[in-house]
Structure 1
């Protein structure tokens, strides 16, 4: 029944990778959204500065650099953080950066290519290759700052960018340690469905539909965007899977809404899934060793199996940390649940 339910909503969360446009007049949130809106409060122990840098495809990425106020004179260890998939730096990744900077790290939270304030056309496109590269570009940026020790660089990936971060670390030997939270393997879930439940016939039909959409886009001269997506909070019936309710509660309410977030207020292109259909991200996860991996997942998260399977595929040193009672989105912003003490000790021990 669980797998059937997952397949039933797969077209909502996977094939279109979309969220419906939210009109201002339909929003029940207070009209306080500004260009500098963040879903968390900046610590008084931290400074935040807007930065930009280019990846090797020439796409300009925009991020926020978080630095501890009391940083002494020694170069700082550094962490690049991004995610969740479809989110922006003013949401969960910024929260993680804010917390880690308080603990002595220089942290850049960035918008991936084609999203948020970062460059790239058309808008709202994801790519296993380019988004993997985005992490390495962030390492480029961090390692060229005079106040940062480039030999002490790590990655923190959240949700879908946990998988991108693992892929980046496998190829980029400059990364000394990686931690991921609520990790998604976007290539696996796109190509095979949740719990690998997509049949060969369904996969073939999906590829056929995507191919037909390409004809439409080519004829129109511009890409179409998805029209299906998460329901509004008032549209929930109570019968939805927990993770759908969790996404709605985060992205579509004041808790986590941001106007530039694809999951809050936009949609991926209708052909976005093509990028992930035959590009497995976890192929070389075993090559991260001997650099350490910390994988954090919620006990009750629908995505937990991605973390468990990544842990099995990785070589030592590795650690799988299961947070009791937590669901997927709890690790986006619940600071009383996210194990920041563990993250602090993990990076302190391994960025050296």
Structure 2
């Protein structure tokens, strides 16, 4: 439930939360919340925290940062560029490159803090920002360890659909859809909203619209839609600045995700470690399993019994925080 302070969780009494601002290398101002243990002394390990795709720092990323600070880490939960309270125009456009850069910019910020050991900085990401976190580590050696929860590879999801189910014809239809929308946007001087993961109806027609989730949940909604709706559209996780709670990304957002595969350079992460946590019942579980399968000697996979995809957003009794804590303490050294 959203509190009077705008957050969907309670701040731990042992933690201090401070609003912060810093810029990425594109000059975009990133809005974040710095979570610090109140009684900590000396220099501490630190984490850059973000996700899910279409969420804001007042939701699950803040909950994670709050919990990590309670356990002795310094953590920043941040809004990606173009979203939430961060800067950037056009609003609510998503970019795999710039979102990846936002993690490195957060590492910049953390490493300049006097109470942070810049040789002990890691990344924790949730859902759709997990792919960008992993990608950031392929080119930013300052990131010493990466953990994810309910990991999504957004390039794969957007360009190939669920379980890589797009046919070649459907892929071309999606490409044609967003490029025709570019003509309309150019002519109108505006940026229409539309689905970042385009679906097709039973007759093979592309389904469009200006919302990620419906305003009300229809009877017979599929389990995945119902699960996301239960978080983003109810008191559980609703936030007025979150794209998923209120509207949709720009309709041309898929373009860059078709063009830039996020997982192209996984071989550059070792010897730095990765931990992937996924629910046993999560529709997204295969993303984590595939990454683990590609590099089992460097990637640890944790399957959470009974959890679905969204449970790892905020169900603290299901989120494997003990495993995350041990992973970071073992590897941020």
- Report the TM range for the smaller structure's normalisation: over 0.9
1:54 Cα deviation (Å)? 0.3
- Is the CA contact 1:298–1:325 (under 8 Å) kept in the aligned structure 2? yes
Pairwise mapping of residues 138-287 of structure 1 onto structure 2 (< 5 A)?
Answer: 138-226=106-194, 227-233=210-216, 235-237=217-219, 239-287=220-268
Q: In the alignment, does 2:35 pair up with 1:54?
A: no
Structure 2 Cα separation of the partners of residues 52 and 90 of structure 1: 15
Per-residue deviation at 1:308? 0.4
Deviation at 1:135, TM superposition (A): 0.2
Q: What residue in structure 2 maps to residue 25 of structure 1?
A: none
Structure 2 Cα separation of the partners of residues 286 and 104 of structure 1: 31
Question: Structure 1 residue 326 and structure 2 residue 307: aligned?
Answer: yes
Residue 312 of structure 1, CA deviation: 1.4
Q: 1:67 aligns with which of 36, 52, 58?
A: 36
Deviation at 1:240, TM superposition (A): 2.3
Query: Which residue of structure 2 aligns with residue 299 of structure 1?
Result: 280
Does structure 2 conserve the Cα–Cα contact (< 8 Å) formed by 1:33 and 1:259? no
CA distance in 2, matches of 1:97, 1:266: 26
List gaps (5 residues or longer) in structure 2: 195-209
The answer on whether the counterparts of 2:193 and 2:211 sit within 8 Å (CA) in structure 1 is no
TM-score with structure 1 setting the length = 0.88
Of 276-285 and 248-257, deviating more is 276-285
CA contact (8 A) 1:81 1:156 kept: yes
C-alpha contact 1:88 1:115 (8 A) present in aligned 2 = yes
CA-based RMSD of the aligned residues comes to 1.3
Name the structure, 1 or 2, with higher relative contact order (CA <8 Å, separation 6+).
Answer: 1
Runs of 4+ with deviation above 3 angstroms: none
Partner of 1:134: 102
C-alpha deviation, 1:315, in angstroms: 5.5
Give the number of equivalent residue pairs: 318
Q: 1:277 is paired with a residue of what secondary structure? A: helix
CA contact (8 A) 1:52 1:60 kept: yes
Q: What is the distance in 1 between the residues matched to 2:103 and 2:24?
A: 9
Question: Which residue of 68, 71, 77 maps to 1:109?
Answer: 77
Q: What's the offset of the Cα at 1:40?
A: 0.2
In structure 2, how many angstroms separate the alpha carbons of the residues matched to 1:242 and 1:311?
Answer: 26
Alignment-derived partner of residue 92 in structure 1: 60
- TM-aligned CA deviation for residue 311 of structure 1: 1.0
Q: What is the CA–CA distance in structure 2 between the aligned matches of 1:315 and 1:119, rounded to whole Å?
A: 38
TM-superposed CA distance for 1:33, in Å, is 7.3
Please, which runs of 5 or more residues in structure 1 have no aligned partner? 1-28
Question: Corresponding residue for 2:205?
Answer: none
Aligned to 2:9: 40
3-state secondary structure, aligned to 2:144:
strand
